[in-house]
Structure 1
């Protein structure tokens, strides 16, 4: 489906379950704690530089600064303004995630740049325990504070991975694991809302761009830069794409499968997609007196040192210098960051742009992108989606048995399922919102893994399903005759739908039709949002959130979830 691309690349909010949640973040957003490098630093590196390399003392109140690496205020300053929140900024210009992986020297103090793992997080932890006149120095209520981390620009950059300058035997996965290790400590200190900002499209920054896109040679940040700018640009592109793909998949694994951060909510804010959108659609974002400029930069410094020169109309530039986004770009980042926390509608990315590749997971709670089928598919054409939607399927707790379900969208009940546990077939009748019967789902009396869906009073199966347990096999194979209008060449075609598990615990499953992922099913595991049934072994009744592509019958998806979900109750109590 051609629609908005993601600002909020992936939201993992284990605690919420409504199809259209109030927001991803806290009910009340009062404080932001940020970690990172020069893309985020306000004035912390300045302290190191002006105090012979000594770190700020515990309880240091960081002054605001309108002369940061952006040429003005940094994005965190604007978040504080736009959302009226406290800002506690621990980012340090030049930082990497860990100096045990990619150490870089700050020549001004003849020592390493302070890193996230070895300095920033410990500094935050010390401040969090500090009191002034009996009052906590940091105002960071767990349910009102968001923690951001945006790190990697220096880790992947010159004098680090791109120049093969990392510590021996260290790789990019070590840098990525370092990010989660840093968040482990913040989580242990009470952090519950996290925004992991993925890597910017560094191959578009003048420091790493190709010559035709404004790439520069030797400069203040890389005096001995190799002459082959194209090779450098493509290697950076490869590094960034690789790291961002790992963040995209490792984050849901750590949160949903490994349960590394129980009770926490995570968002991966897609900085790559956002800044690509800005780069390819500059006139929508830059309002200076000169034409928008995304390949040049505002601040020019001679390689030999000396006075730097700033060009006029700074609000026309995407980049302040060879590496850093401009103040205007930081304002855009801040606007979108606040939207992430509030769960607002995200920025658009034109469908024609192949460089905005990621998807919007704002409402999908860790559900990857879906793809429309080649033509509509349905067992009930009236229920075909006109656009991508999120539905919630709940195994109802009221009856003593576990055969009743409700299916909702945007708080509205679409279908209900009423079970007949006294029948050998474990019959379940699907009803529309008015109560009219739609289908009856039955197990075969001789095989509970084989199911048949019939119209009320009918004797013919309009859909058949087979549950499987073999390793690497689909969890279910469903066949049905398509009731939707479709191309003449496909009118006699029988549709085969497969459900594949995406993890060992069947927490995430994908619905595949003709090699297209038309739906993702996420089983919610947080007990705080699950209802208790009337007797074991189904003490906690299962609940699912389902992302459905355009052109797919919602009643069909409801049937599929009920089919594959009939085994979920056996392990939900362990969730």
Structure 2
């Protein structure tokens, strides 16, 4: 066996051992509870009146049974992969989907809503569920859990659950960079601070309701999503670095806020998830990750289509979404989500194990 081949197998064994150790300790997490936007919406938007939906083909073409669940992807999301690795269900249910029983929701639930943001105005733009309402649903969920399981068991589930917040991109892409209202009120640094204030309040709100193990996902380089590349007037087809700088600024302030939260919230651990560098690594070296296309989405022309626009151009949808970093012009493919989930399991999640 060549030395290169031997090194490959040794690295593979180390990776498997690391993942096995994570899964072996997974019993410490009782459930996965999710707040956020389309990156973690398991289908809540299916049950509200909004144009921001993904419950039709080609979405879900690689989900179990080829079902369009309302996830803005060809398959599963980061939270689904994390849930499965924690020996919880392989997909996280949407809270508003009443086909799920409270026993099923007891192991994990998503309150997320595609199109929402930290800024309440962002949610209003497409009539989706604001973060404040997601926390209200969480309160309702707790009461249902207590009625079904008893207060002691319900409290144990809530305390030992892992909480994920994934939100913030829409505040820039759908709101600040498009509409004139917020830019008239806030400079870019002021708006970042405004959003961080809402992120801080949301974590404190979840803490007051019992959350103790919390992951907060930072912003990815959203200037590199296909739609941003398409609309980049200065350098068409290239990443919009002005947008990426906003993500970097937000992430830096989010990390400072998280540090303060860890000092203020007794018994809690809040962990920052660095998706910016994860995604930047893929953009810089796509072939290392098995991607052939990072500039276009799989659906339609891949340049601007998302949500209903993907459905209008189904005949143009790519044959193998695994070769694409993005499924539509904004949302990652299932394979990208799996790579991010793997990094979370190997790094940030170790804090709770």
TM-score by length of 2: 0.71
Larger relative contact order, structure 1 or 2 (CA cutoff 8 Å, min sep 6): 2
| Post-superposition offset of 1:142 | 4.4
1:126-150 Cα shifts (integer Å, max 9, x gaps): 1112248642696862442111101
| Post-superposition offset of 1:274 | 1.2
Distance 1:341 1:29, change over 3 A: farther
Take 1:49 and 1:329, find their aligned partners in 2: how far apart are those partners?
29
Q: Does 1:263 align with 2:267?
A: yes
Take 1:177 and 1:206, find their aligned partners in 2: how far apart are those partners?
29
Distance 1:103 1:232, change over 3 A: farther
Take 1:283 and 1:138, find their aligned partners in 2: how far apart are those partners?
46
Assess if the C-alpha contact under 8 Å between 1:44 and 1:90 holds in 2: yes
1:9-60 Cα shifts (integer Å, max 9, x gaps): xxxxxxxxxxxxx99x987122111111111111001111489x9xxxxxxx
Assess if the C-alpha contact under 8 Å between 1:26 and 1:143 holds in 2: no
Counterpart in 2 of 1:113? 128
Take 1:161 and 1:138, find their aligned partners in 2: how far apart are those partners?
42
1:435-493 Cα shifts (integer Å, max 9, x gaps): xxxxxxxxxxxxxxxxxxxxxxxxxxxxxxxxxxxxxxxxxxxxxxxxxxxxxxxxxxx
- Higher Rg of the two aligned structures: 1
Distance 1:83 1:37, change over 3 A: same
Counterpart in 2 of 1:207? 227
Assess if the C-alpha contact under 8 Å between 1:26 and 1:341 holds in 2: no
Assess if the C-alpha contact under 8 Å between 1:148 and 1:197 holds in 2: yes
Take 2:210 and 2:141, find their aligned partners in 1: how far apart are those partners?
14
Gaps of 5+ in 1: 1-21, 54-63, 107-111, 209-214, 218-225, 344-361, 364-575
Counterpart in 2 of 1:130? 144
Query: What pairs with 1:136-285 in structure 2 (closer than 5 Å)?
Result: 141-161=157-177, 163-166=179-182, 169-170=185-186, 171-208=191-228, 215-217=229-231, 227-228=233-234, 233-256=240-263, 259=264, 261-285=265-289
Q: Would you tell me which structure has more helix in proportion to its own residues?
A: 2
Gaps of 5+ in 2: 1-20, 54-66, 89-106
1:160-182 Cα shifts (integer Å, max 9, x gaps): 34544438635221111101111
Assess if the C-alpha contact under 8 Å between 1:35 and 1:116 holds in 2: yes
SS at match of 1:323: coil
TM-score by length of 1: 0.45
Q: Would you tell me which structure has more strand in proportion to its own residues?
A: 1
How many residues were matched structurally? 284
Query: What pairs with 1:4-403 in structure 2 (closer than 5 Å)?
Result: 28-49=28-49, 66=69, 68-85=71-88, 86-99=107-120, 101-106=121-126, 112-117=127-132, 119-131=133-145, 134-135=148-149, 141-161=157-177, 163-166=179-182, 169-170=185-186, 171-208=191-228, 215-217=229-231, 227-228=233-234, 233-256=240-263, 259=264, 261-286=265-290, 292-300=292-300, 306-308=312-314, 309-340=316-347, 342-343=349-350
| Post-superposition offset of 1:327 | 0.8
